[in-house]
Chain A
Amino acid sequence: MFELAPAFWLLAAAALAVVLPGKGLRAALCVAMPLVGLWQLWTMGVGASAHASLAGFELTLYSVTKVNFVFAVIFLLISAVAGVYAWHVDDRGQQVAALSYAAGALGVTLAGDFLTLLLFWELMAVASAWLVFARREARSVRAGVRYLLVHVAGGSFLFGGIILFYGQTGTLTLQALTPDMGAAAWLVLIGVALNVALPPLHPWLPDAYPKATITGAIFMSALTTKSAVYVLLVLFPGWDLLIYMGLFMALYGVVYAVLANDIRQILAYHIISQVGYMVTGVGIGTALSMNGTAAHAFSHILYKALLFMGAGAVIQATGVSKLSDLGGLAPKMRGVVWLFMIGAFSISGFPLFNGFISKSMIVSAAGEAHHYAIMLGLLLASVGTFLHTGLKIPVFTFWGKDQKLETKPIPRNMYVAMGLVAFGCTFFGVYPHALYVLLPFDAEYHPYTAYHLVEATQILTFTFIGFWVLRAKLAGEPYLALDTDWFYRRGAPVAQAMVVKPVNAFFGAGAKARDGIASFLASNFGNPRAWFGLQKGSRDRFDPDVERAPLGSGLALILLVFVAIFASVVILVP
Chain B
Amino acid sequence: MKTIHWILLGIVTLASLALQYFGPPHPHPHAWDAIPLFYCMFGFVGCVLIIVVSKFLGKVWLQKKEDYYKGDDDV
Contact = CB atoms under 8 A, between A and B. Distances in A.
A387 B64 contact: no
A259 interface: yes
B64 A479 contact: yes
A17 B48 CA distance: 51
Contacts of A207: 74
A502 interface: no
A360 to B, nearest CB: 13
A462 B62 contact: no
A48 B7 CA distance: 57
A489 B68 CA distance: 10
A141 B67 CA distance: 17
Interface string B19-33: 110011010101110
A173 B3 CA distance: 63
Given A258-B54, A455-B39, A458-B43, A450 B75 contact: no
A463 B66 contact: no
B68 to A, nearest CB: 6
Given A454-B20, A462-B44, A482 B61 contact: yes
Q: How large is the interface on A (under 10, 10 to 19, 20 to 34, 35 or more residues)?
A: 35 or more
A367 B26 CA distance: 12
Question: B interface, by DSSP: helix, strand, loop or mixed?
Answer: helix
A312 to B, nearest CB: 17
Interface residues of B, number: 47
Contacts, number: 160
Contacts of B9: 461, 464-465
Interface in A427-483: 449-451, 453-455, 457-470, 473-474, 477-483
Contacts of A259: 54-55, 57-58, 62-63
Question: A interface, by DSSP: helix, strand, loop or mixed?
Answer: helix
B51 A478 contact: no
B46 A380 contact: yes
Contact of A383 (B50, B55, B65, B75): B50
Contact of A254 (B50, B61, B63, B68): B50
B63 to A, nearest CB: 4
Contact of A454 (B16, B55, B61, B73): B16
Given A458-B39, A473-B55, A466 B63 contact: no
A531 B57 CA distance: 77
A139 interface: yes
Contact of B12 (A258, A450, A461, A478): A461
Given A255-B50, A468-B1, A490-B69, A460 B43 contact: yes
Q: Tell which of B13, B50, B63 has the most Cβ of chain A within 10 Å.
A: B50
Q: Tell which of A265, A375, A455 has the most Cβ of chain B within 10 Å.
A: A455
A384 B53 CA distance: 12
Given A372-B30, A489-B69, A481 B43 contact: no
A262 interface: yes
Contacts of A478: 66, 75
Contact of B74 (A383, A384, A462, A480): A480
Contact of B51 (A265, A459, A474, A479): A474
B33 to A, nearest CB: 9
Contacts of B48: 466, 469-470
Interface in B4-18: 9, 12-13, 15-17
Nearest to B16: A457
Nearest to A462: B43
18 contacts: A139-B74, A142-B72, A143-B74, A259-B57, A380-B42, A450-B19, A450-B26, A451-B26, A454-B17, A455-B39, A461-B43, A462-B13, A463-B47, A466-B46, A470-B47, A473-B51, A480-B74, A482-B68
Given A143-B74, A255-B53, A459-B46, 16 more contacts: A210-B75, A254-B54, A255-B54, A259-B58, A379-B46, A383-B43, A457-B12, A457-B16, A461-B13, A462-B39, A465-B9, A466-B46, A473-B51, A479-B58, A482-B61, A489-B69
Interface of A: 139, 142-143, 207, 210, 254-256, 258-262, 265, 322, 367-368, 372, 375-376, 379-380, 383-384, 387, 449-451, 453-455, 457-470, 473-474, 477-483, 489-490
